[in-house]
Every structure is written in structure tokens, then in C-alpha cells.
Structure 1
Amino acid sequence: MVKEISSFLSSISHTAQRKLSKIAEAHEQHYQDILSFMHASTVLVVGFLLFIIINQE
């Protein structure tokens, strides 16, 4: 169960990173802001899902 969720999350994360990288290439000055926002939101989502998984068991 945890492996499926983590692989699902990583695929979503990779897709989002590719799309955001293309956006960032068009807006070089916002590149760092986009990367830091992406990193923070990924950490929040993963932490929230781990919290749910741990509480279910």
C-alpha cells in the first residue's frame, strides 16, 4: 500500500517538475520561486499522506 502511494506521488512529482521547468524556462527570473514553491508543496503533500497512512494502521 505504501509503495503504491509513494510511486504514485513520485510520478506526480516528476510530471509537475517537468511542466514547471518548462514554465520556468519562459520566466527565468521566477525560476527559484517556482522551484522553492514546488519543493514546499511536495513536502507538505507527502507529509500529509504519511500522516494519514500512519493513523490508519
Structure 2
Amino acid sequence: MPNIRVKENEPFEVAIRRFKRTVEKTGLLTELRAREFYEKPTAERKRKAAAAVKRQ
């Protein structure tokens, strides 16, 4: 779980922006969305293969 320390006299909006950036860099939301529903192993392999083809 990413965490940040709010500095003295730091506006709340800036702290939220830093936290959002940290969460995005760690890929936490992407992982949560991927694990939201069960994905069959065959569907997972198919998705990963399609992503590999798309990358090339």
C-alpha cells in the first residue's frame, strides 16, 4: 500500500495529487481491476498472448 507523508503547510490538493501519482506508479489500481472478477486460466493466457502480439 503506497503512503505519503503530508508536509507542514502542504495543501490537501497537492498531497492527494502526490498520492494518486504514487498509486499509479505502483500499478495498484490496474491490479485491483484485474482481480475484481475471476478470470479463467485459459482466458488469462489468451489475454496475455493478445497483449504480447499487440506489443510487437
Same fold (TM over 0.5): no
Larger RCO (alpha carbons 8 Å, 6+ apart): 1
The TM-score normalised by the length of structure 2 is 0.31
The TM-score normalised by the length of structure 1 is 0.31
State the structure with more CA Rg: 2
Higher fraction of helix: 1
